[in-house]
Amino acid sequence: MTDDKNEKKARIAALRPAYQDDLGAGTERFFAARRTDCPWCGAERLTTRLRTTDLLQHKPGRFTLDRCADCGHTFQNPRLTEQGLEFYYRDFYDGLGEQRMSGTFGGRGAMYRGRAEAMLPHDPTPKTWLDVGTGHGHFCAAARAVLPGTSFDGLDFTDGVELAAREGRVDHAYRGAFPALAPELGARYDVVSMFHYLEHSTDPDRELRAAHEAVRPGGHLLIEVPDPQSRYARLLGRWWLPWLQPQHLHFMPVANLRRRLTELGFTVVAEQHAEPHDPVDLLAAVWLALDHTAPREDVPWLPEPPGVLSRALRSTLFLAGVPALVTATLLDRFALRPLSHRLGLANAYRLVVRRD
Rounded mean pLDDT, 222-237: 98
Confidence of residue 1 (pLDDT cuts 50, 70, 90): low
The secondary structure of residue 59, as a DSSP letter, is -
| DSSP per residue, 139-181 | HHHHHTTT-TT-EEEEEESSTHHHHHHHTTSSSEEEES-HHHH
Half-sphere exposure at residue 5, Cβ-oriented, CA atoms within 13 angstroms: 4
- Cis-peptide into 78, omega within 30 deg: yes
Q: What is the mean pLDDT of residues 135-156?
A: 97
Task: Specify the DSSP class assigned to residue 97.
Answer: G
Structure confidence by residue, pLDDT tens digits, 51-94: 999 999 999 999 999 999 999 999 999 999 999 999 999 999 88
Better pLDDT: 143 or 4: 143
C-beta of residue 159 within 8 angstroms of C-beta of residue 179: no
151-156 and 128-132 beta bridge pairing: parallel
Give the amino acid at 272.
Q
Contacts of 259 (CB under 8 A, 6+ apart): none
Please tell me the predicted confidence (pLDDT) of residue 118.
Answer: 98
- Has residue 36 got a pLDDT over 80? yes
β-partners of residue 268 are: 353
pLDDT at 100: 80
Q: What percent of the chain has pLDDT over 90?
A: 94
Helix (H, G, I), strand (E, B) or coil at 350: strand
Burial of 50 (0-12, 13-18, 19+ CB in 10 A): middle
What is d(CA 99, CA 7) in angstroms, rounded to the nearest whole number? 13
Q: Please, is 236 exposed, middle or buried when counting C-beta atoms within 10 Å of its C-beta (0-12, 13-18, 19+)?
A: buried
Beta-bridged to residue 188, according to DSSP, are: none
Whether 50 shows a pLDDT value over 80: the answer reads: yes
For residues 78 and 36, what is the distance between their CA atoms, to the nearest angstrom? 10
The reported pLDDT for the residue numbered 29 is 96
At 297-325, the pLDDT tens digits run 999 999 999 999 999 999 999 999 999 99
Burial class of 307 by CB neighbour count within 10 A (0 to 12, 13 to 18, 19+): exposed
136-160 b/e with 16+ CB inside 10 Å = b? bbbbbbbbbebbeebbbbbbbbbeb
Confidence label for 3 from pLDDT (cuts 50, 70 and 90): confident
Model pTM score: 0.96
Mean pLDDT of 32-52: 98
Distance, CA of 40 to CA of 205 (rounded, Å): 8
Give me the count of residues in the chain: 356
Which of helix, strand or coil describes residue 62?
strand
Give the mean pLDDT of the chain: 96
Q: Is 317 left (phi over 0), alpha (psi -120 to 50) or beta?
A: alpha
Q: What is the mean pLDDT of residues 199-207?
A: 98
**CB neighbour list of residue 22: distance below 8 Å, 6 or more residues apart:** 87
* Amino acid 91: pLDDT: 95
243 touches 52 (CB < 8 A):
yes
Alpha carbons 144 and 142: distance in angstroms, whole number: 5
Report how far residue 265's alpha carbon sits from residue 212's, in angstroms, rounded to the nearest whole number.
Answer: 8
Residue 352 corresponds to which amino acid?
A: V
Percentage of residues of the chain with pLDDT beyond 70: 99
What sign has the CA pseudo-torsion 45, 242, 246, 304?
A: positive
The pLDDT score that the predictor gives to residue 159 is 87
Q: What is the pLDDT of residue 106?
A: 72
Distance CA 157, CA 169 (A): 17
Asked if the model's pLDDT at residue 292 lies above 70, the reply is: yes
Report the distance separating Cα 101 and Cα 138, nearest Å: 11
